[in-house]
Amino acid sequence: MRRTIYLPEELDGRVEEYLRTHRRNLSALVREALEEKLAPRNPWALLELSGIVKDGQSRPLGERPEDDVTIE
């Protein structure tokens, strides 16, 4: 699909410089940037990386540790 976009002059210059130094084309750069920007985020991954949580996949967002307590 074709789209037309407007880039401010300063940003266009930065894009051109990036394309020149990285030997990329504009279509590939835009695709990669959009894929990265629109990718689903896992907020637990950053917490796991920082050591705040041990298993970033173990607890859905919004659950509390006290929800794991079982009373018999």
Residue 52 lies in a domain: yes
How many other C-beta atoms are found inside a 10 Å radius of the C-beta of residue 62?
Answer: 6
Determine if residue 58 is left, alpha or beta; phi over 0 gives left, psi from -120 to 50 gives alpha, anything else beta: alpha
Taking only the tens place, the pLDDT of each residue in 3-42 is 999 999 999 999 999 999 999 999 999 999 999 999 887 7
51 is a domain residue: yes
pLDDT for residue 27:
95
Q: Is residue 30 part of a domain?
A: yes
Determine, yes or no, domain membership for 72. no
Q: How many domains does the chain have?
A: 1
Q: Residue 15's domain spans which residues?
A: 9-59
- Higher pLDDT, residue 54 or 69: 54
Q: What is the pTM of this model?
A: 0.55
